[in-house]
Amino acid sequence: MFDTIISHDHIKNFVMKELKEDRIPNGFLFTGPQGVGKHLFADELAKILNCTGNEPPCGSCSNCKVLEAGEHPDIVTIDPKANLKLEASKKSSDTVKFRDLIDKIISDSIFRPSLGAKKVVIIDDAGDLSVPAMNNLLKILEEPPEYMVMILISTSERNVLPTIRSRTQQLRFKRLSASSIKEFIGSGKEEADEGSLKMCNGSLGRYYDLSQEQFEKFFRITTQILTTVKSARHVWDINKVAAEIIKKEFKTKTRQYYDEFRHYLDFLKRLCEFTLVKGDLETKEFNRFYDAVSAINVSSKRKMGEDPMFRLDVSGKVAKAIEIARSASFRYVNFELLLSEFIRNLGTAFRGIS
């Protein structure tokens, strides 16, 4: 049971105990960083609750097979972000709006499961729900049918209304250890990439993103930014580079701009922690970044390689620039202006240019 889930033993043990004693809560709130297995755990729990085999999930009973095919009528998965993108890309007359899906869940809750033992509703990114939508969900969570289990997934419990939190069983998923990620990757006869392993920050999902083209892409962006910080003499030099980076590296015209930018900010923060604070220069990319930052400070009286406190000071200023950019990204300001301002703030952090 839960054999496909990496780590999270404390959560596995708790849920297995609840299953054994037949007292599974009607509402769960899974919180924790992206890419650590929250949705995978929800899927596995849905299988276990509806499996009719001897050792759930057996994978061979009719319920397991229908669920694997994504066609189980009693299992509903909703992603607010995906649905909002769908609404933006189609005419409203062709689209089932997200609020309509919530209303449908409420209206359908009066009907018992048609195939399995439980109706399971999984809501990804529940923190992105509007306040009215969360209040609607309370109608079910306050008086839940005994045959329904609702699983809300969010990166932080603070994004969810206190009234929702008080009516759900909260399970906090922690970041995965580098060793557990490495072991999992090795079980598939694949050698883990050390750079991506360090930069993924305990997220298996982020590891796979970075293991492909995003790792190289983020380094390309970093190289362009550092080159600009070193050579730019005027504001329009920075604005020009920002426009070029967006044109070459950011392909979409939606809010995905900001989602990917926040992933990049996490990447850069980790990069500074490893190279400037920990002095971890085992990979060629880390060395290249360290050398580039050192070159920017070549005219400084304080030398990057000789002064650990200077490196720590630079890293702290970069972290501040990152937090300013992250905060602005949630206000969805003009993306080109956001990136230009971020590069200028990095200039101040790395060298003090205006």
Q: Which residues contact 233 (CB under 8 A, 6 or more apart)?
A: none
| 28 sits in which H/E element | strand 27-31
Global pTM reads: 0.67
Is residue 143 very low, low, confident or very high in pLDDT (cuts 50, 70, 90)?
Answer: confident
Judgement on whether residues 199 and 289 belong to the same structural domain of the protein: yes
Q: Is residue 162 located within the same domain as residue 210? A: no
Q: Are residues 267 and 341 in the same domain?
A: yes
Q: For the chain, first and last CA: distance in Å?
A: 58
Across 248-252, average pLDDT:
76
Looking at 156, 174, 192, which one is the last position of a domain? 174
Domain co-membership, 195 together with 154:
no
Same domain, yes or no: 202 and 261 = yes
Pick the last residue of a domain from 124, 145, 174.
174
Residue 30 lies in a domain: yes
Q: Are 200 and 210 in contact (CB under 8 A)?
A: yes
Tell me, yes or no, whether 217 and 339 share the same domain: yes
The domain that holds 44 is classified in CATH as 3.40.50.300
- Express each pLDDT in 208-240 by its tens digit: 776 667 788 888 899 999 888 888 878 888 999
Do 30 and 166 fall within a single domain? yes
Same domain, yes or no, for 159 and 208? no
Mean pLDDT value across the chain: 81
Residue 2 domain flag: no
Contacts 24+ apart (CB under 8 A), 5-11: 5/37, 5/40, 5/41, 5/44, 6/37, 6/176, 6/180, 6/181, 6/184, 6/204, 7/37, 7/174, 7/176, 7/177, 7/180, 8/36, 8/37, 8/41, 8/173, 8/174, 11/41, 11/171, 11/173
> Residue 22 is part of which domain span?
9-174
Residue ending a domain, among 147, 174, 201, is 174
Q: Are residues 48 and 186 in the same domain?
A: no
Alpha helices (H) in the chain, listed in sequence order:
9-20, 38-50, 62-68, 80-89, 98-108, 131-142, 162-165, 178-187, 194-199, 204-209, 215-231, 235-249, 256-272, 284-296, 308-329, 335-350
Are 185 and 170 within one domain?
no
Question: Does residue 3 lie within any of the structural domains?
Answer: no
Q: Give 187 or 125, the one with higher predicted confidence.
A: 125
Q: How far apart are CA 138 and CA 163, in angstroms?
A: 8
Domain count, the chain: 2
Let me know whether 37 and 99 are in one domain: yes
